[in-house]
Amino acid sequence: MVYSNEGCLRVGQTAPDFSATAVFDQEFKQIKLSDYRGKYVILFFYPLDFTFVCPTEITAFSDRYEDFKNINTEVLGVSVDSEFSHLAWIQSDRKSGGVGDLNYPLVSDIKKEISSAYNVLDPDAGVALRGLFIIDKDGVIQHSTINNLSFGRSVDETLRTLQAIQYVQSHPDEVCPAGWQPGDKTMSPDPVKSKVFFASV
């Protein structure tokens, strides 16, 4: 399958706003992405409820939710399922293939408008690919990644990338090298000053 780049979202662009029904705390709730301005958002798409790789990702993000919350970040999961399917999945035990209670909302994209806006919809399968977007507190996309359907994403790497984004946004005269972790050395984006970093590694 070849996807068109026309209208494709890029980092640095404003994340498309949306309003949709989500399930949180076993209740239906209307949410808007723009309601989260002032916070960072991890927005991730997954194909379907009651599948195989999906629950491993969804529970992993929930188990690490406090790590995100502690750095001013909310998590939103999105699929093309209805809110009723989301609720049934949340009410199913993890040992039975469910996800149990989650620490963040699952959004219903039953009309496929959100996944289309973020260019992650697989039109042949009729589901979203595993797209993940890190949106900053001004609503700007700072990172995006899209996996194919059969393999999941790393919560650790998502958190590390988010921390790097937050660091450089609060330290505009510094950049983070590959694999940077909080507490690691950064460098100056300057031909001369950057040699200080390279000389130390």
Q: For residue 135, what are the contacts with CB-CB under 8 A and spacing of at least 6? A: 15, 33, 36, 40, 41, 43, 141, 142
Q: Is 176 among the catalytic positions?
A: no
What is the rounded distance in angstroms from the CA atom of residue 143 to the CA atom of residue 12?
9
Q: Do the strands 19-24 and 121-122 form a parallel or antiparallel pair, or are they unpaired?
A: unpaired
Locate tokens 């199913």: which residue? 92
Q: For residue 132, what are the contacts with CB-CB under 8 A and spacing of at least 6? A: 42, 43, 44, 45, 143, 144, 145, 146, 153, 158
74 three-state secondary structure: strand
Residue 76 one-letter amino acid: L
Active-site residue identified among 20, 41, 43, 54:
54
Q: Which two tokens stand for residue 68?
A: 């995100």
What DSSP letter does each residue of 9-26 carry, written as one string? --TTSBPPP-EEEEEETT
Catalytically annotated residues = 54
